[in-house]
Structure 1
Amino acid sequence: MFKVMLGALFACSLIPQAHAAMPKSQIWLAKSHDNGITVKPLTSDDAYHNQPLVSAEGVYYTKEITSAERSQTDLFLYRFADNSHTNLTNTPESEYSPTIYPHKDGVSAIVVEPSGKQRLWFYPEEASLKPERIFEHIEPVGYHAWGKGEDLIMFILGEPHTLQFTDLSGHLPKVIAKDIGRSLAFNAKRNMYSFTFVEHGEQWFATYSKRLGSVKKHFQLPSSVKDYTWLDSDTLAYAIDNKVFTRNIDAPKSVKLWRNFEGYCKANITRLSFHEETLAFVCDR
């Protein structure tokens, strides 16, 4: 369990700028059970609440913190056990994209450093340990996903944005794809990474296999879809407006309406995270 610890602007709008007004958004939780589904707000809608990550312990997320001097973001954890919200970073820098770190107890995240550079950092669970930068030479990092062993993929900002594969050594990152989207994931059972990219004006859902060393295009996605989450090793979910649809990677022509959240979200659902029958989704205000 986390204890309170110490705590380049993006060249695009994937992550809000650290010192600019951020769009207001709200995180909701939808929990499936034997009698149906329970939906409740996890946060208020009066600030930027985004990038949820559902885990066994709770929900990690990014929240805007404002003062007379500045506006920045910190990482928070909502714990299922006691319904508490804890600021995990509490720093003057902005942190984004909390991700479970597989090699030590804690999370990895993107940090906008004082220099303006965006690098990948590790924030330990133990309060007596200091956060540490994971890579000195790899930046600007936008998003990331850990795989098996010490492998990971990273969204690297540029013209165009690229998906790069490396490991904890950071040795010779390999460019996997270009013109990629922000949603990265790892499917452990299938031992493959997943992502989206645009080719000839069309958006594709694709996977990368380290074993094969190749990218496979699976199916096209509507251009409005910016985020997805795996429900299991075969099925992914994504939102259009305020409805969530599912698609089986082995039968991609069949698109099914899974959840209709129009009674809770009047605008658009922009992000999703699923773990053990619990779905977190972000609704733009």
Structure 2
Amino acid sequence: MRYLPFCLLALLSPLAFSQLPDNDIFLVELSWSKSEDGRSLPKLGPARNITKQPGYENQAHFLPDGQILYTASRDGKQTDIFRFDPKSGNTTQVTATPESEFSPTLMMDGRHFSVVRVEADQTQRLWQFPLDGGEPRLILPEVTSVGYHTWLSPTQLALFIVGEPHRLVWVDVAKSQPKTLLNDVGRCFTLAPDKKSLYAVHKPEGKTWQILQLGLSDQKREVLAETVEGAEDYVWTPDGALLMARESRLYLLHPKRDKQWRQIADLADQGLKGITRLALDHKGRYLTLVSATKL
């Protein structure tokens, strides 16, 4: 079963850049084997720090060729998008603008990527850049307060809209009229294999957080699982399992077979803690994690 591994991670509200956390992105190679009960379980290789810079590095996104787009602040004033090549170890700066770009996400044409851009007046809107360089273009002029996004088709998106409450909305680029799908939503949501529904984290105040399957047309809700306590970032593996992290520990759950999360790794001995922001390449071979601790 194939899941689209977008974990959409942008700015939740306009922040002073002194408030952005000091963290790094780590790359881990996974090797998979079958357990005694038939479940696929990963074995993690060493965690490799792929950023190694002071300041904010976050929001990794795998491209089909295995390269990784991510957000970073190099001057402490604003953020740009960078690209890391795991094969060569080279890092390339992709955007260099006075504005701040967050949450790089490959668009379905394969030639552009979209970002949440914090404009000069602190308006947060969705823009696109050519992957190979060029001028940006505003995608949804009338839709503001965008925090996160994922593409559902070449013209349709799911957006996290910052507000009270935070909302998950559906929007067509041609119509620019968002339709609310869920309130009190978390920052990580993914397109389901049937492309007719979304998976999203529901975070109602004072209640247990849950991963829901949410119909795009009928908004029918089905609870897949409770999240790992206090965690909201997840990725799907190619065989339909969920990965989540808390502190230094990584957990796995097959929603259709498991009732409880299973701890599969603890990266504390490698110096990682406070892990957030997971991303997995489409083959399930490489995982990125964001950690507040430097190696």
Q: TM-score, normalised by structure 2?
A: 0.83
1:1-285 to 2 correspondences below 5 Å: 14=12, 17-33=15-31, 37-44=45-52, 46-57=54-65, 58-66=67-75, 71-103=77-109, 105-127=111-133, 129-188=134-193, 191-199=196-204, 201-202=206-207, 203-210=209-216, 212-232=218-238, 234-275=240-281, 276=283, 277-285=285-293
Distance 1:94 1:64, change over 3 A: same
Distance 1:258 1:122, change over 3 A: same
Distance 1:149 1:216 in 2: 26
Partner AA of 1:143 in structure 2: Y
**Which secondary structure state, in structure 2, belongs to the residue aligned with residue 155 of structure 1?**
strand
**Which secondary structure state, in structure 2, belongs to the residue aligned with residue 20 of structure 1?**
helix
Distance 2:45 2:138 in 1: 40
Partner AA of 1:63 in structure 2: A
Q: Indicate if the aligned counterparts of 2:11 and 2:148 stay in contact, CA closer than 8 A.
A: no
Q: Indicate if the aligned counterparts of 2:228 and 2:261 stay in contact, CA closer than 8 A.
A: no
Q: Indicate if the aligned counterparts of 1:16 and 1:22 stay in contact, CA closer than 8 A.
A: no
Higher relative CO (Cα under 8 Å, sequence separation at least 6) belongs to: 2
Q: Indicate if the aligned counterparts of 2:152 and 2:195 stay in contact, CA closer than 8 A.
A: no
Partner AA of 2:45 in structure 1: I
Distance 1:244 1:131 in 2: 37
Residue deviations 1:103-122, cap 9 Å, x none? 35021110001121000011
Instruction: Judge which range, 118-127 or 212-221, deviates more.
Output: 212-221
Distance 1:22 1:271, change over 3 A: same
Q: Indicate if the aligned counterparts of 1:141 and 1:155 stay in contact, CA closer than 8 A.
A: yes
Please state how far the C-alpha of 1:232 moved relative to its aligned partner: 2.3
Residue deviations 1:234-270, cap 9 Å, x none? 2111001111101112134132222321122342101
Please state how far the C-alpha of 1:27 moved relative to its aligned partner: 0.8
Distance 1:16 1:46 in 2: 21
Q: Indicate if the aligned counterparts of 1:148 and 1:191 stay in contact, CA closer than 8 A.
A: no
Partner AA of 1:88 in structure 2: V
Q: TM-score, normalised by structure 1?
A: 0.86
Q: Indicate if the aligned counterparts of 1:75 and 1:98 stay in contact, CA closer than 8 A.
A: yes
Distance 2:57 2:277 in 1: 11
Instruction: Judge which range, 259-268 or 42-51, deviates more.
Output: 259-268
Please state how far the C-alpha of 1:149 moved relative to its aligned partner: 4.8
Distance 2:139 2:266 in 1: 40
**Which secondary structure state, in structure 1, belongs to the residue aligned with residue 186 of structure 2?**
coil
Percent of aligned pairs sharing the same letter:
25
Residue deviations 1:124-164, cap 9 Å, x none? 1233x411010001111000011245322100011111000
Partner AA of 2:179 in structure 1: K
What runs of 5+ residues in structure 2 fail to find an aligned partner?
1-9, 33-42
Instruction: Judge which range, 34-43 or 176-185, deviates more.
Output: 34-43
Q: Indicate if the aligned counterparts of 2:106 and 2:113 stay in contact, CA closer than 8 A.
A: yes
Aligned Cα root-mean-square deviation (Å): 2.3
